[in-house]
Amino acid sequence: MSRSDALAMAEEAGLDLVEISPNADPPVAKIIDWGKYQYQKMKEAQKNKRNSKQSELKQMRFGLKIGQGDLDIKLRKVREFLKDGHKVRIQIFYRGREMAHKELGYTMIERIGTLLEDEAVFEHQPTMAGRNLSVVIRGK
């Protein structure tokens, strides 16, 4: 069908002639209502945006004197967060004179990193902010 015939058919129907595949031989065109098409496309994009889940930044706090059982329970929860697609901030907090031994927090972070090495990676190096040492991890 010639271009002028297609344009005449589209005008007769009160619709628009839209070129679908310009590189094809011959080019492929479609007669559609362009405004309705754009509206449907916008609504579909809104629906997809609504259904997509935003990843949150969860936080898990650890003390320096945490026992192995408590550590395992908290790490199980961290693994659930990572499995759900969230990022997790691991935060080590210091109490009282523990600030004199900041290296213990760094070793705790390394220990947590080795326990989670199959599921997670560090996004950046541990940072000290006041009485807290924190690092953000994300799932692999």
pLDDT at residue 55 greater than cutoff 90: no
Determine the 3-state secondary structure of 63 from DSSP: strand
Q: Tell whether the model's pLDDT for residue 77 goes beyond 90.
A: yes
Asked whether residue 106 falls in the same domain as residue 135, the answer is: yes
Tell me the C-alpha to C-alpha distance, in Å, between residue 5 and each of 35, 50, 65. Answer: 22, 42, 82
If pLDDT is split at 50, 70 and 90, which confidence band does 13 have? confident
**Looking at this protein, which amino acid is placed at residue 13?**
A
| Domain count of the fold of the chain | 2
Average pLDDT, the chain: 89
Domain range enclosing 25: 3-51
Tell me if the pTM is above 0.85. Answer: no
Q: Is the domain of 124 the same as that of 65?
A: yes
Q: Are residues 88 and 135 in the same domain?
A: yes
> 30 and 89 in one domain?
no
Residues 93-135 pLDDT 10s: 999 998 898 999 999 999 999 999 898 899 999 999 999 999 9
Pair (26, 43) in one structural domain: yes
CATH value at residue 31 = 3.10.20.80
| Same domain (yes/no): 61, 92 | yes
34 and 66 co-located in one domain: no
Residue 125 exposure: Cα atoms within 13 Å on the Cβ side: 2
In sequence order, the 6+-apart residues with CB closer than 8 A to the CB of 136 are 57, 87, 88, 89, 90, 122, 123, 124
| Residue 83 and residue 112 share a domain | yes
Decide which of 21, 36, 51 is a domain's last residue: 51
Q: Are strands 132-139 and 120-122 parallel, antiparallel or unpaired?
A: antiparallel
11 plus 41 within the same structural domain: yes
Backbone angles phi, psi at 72, to 5 degrees: -60, -40
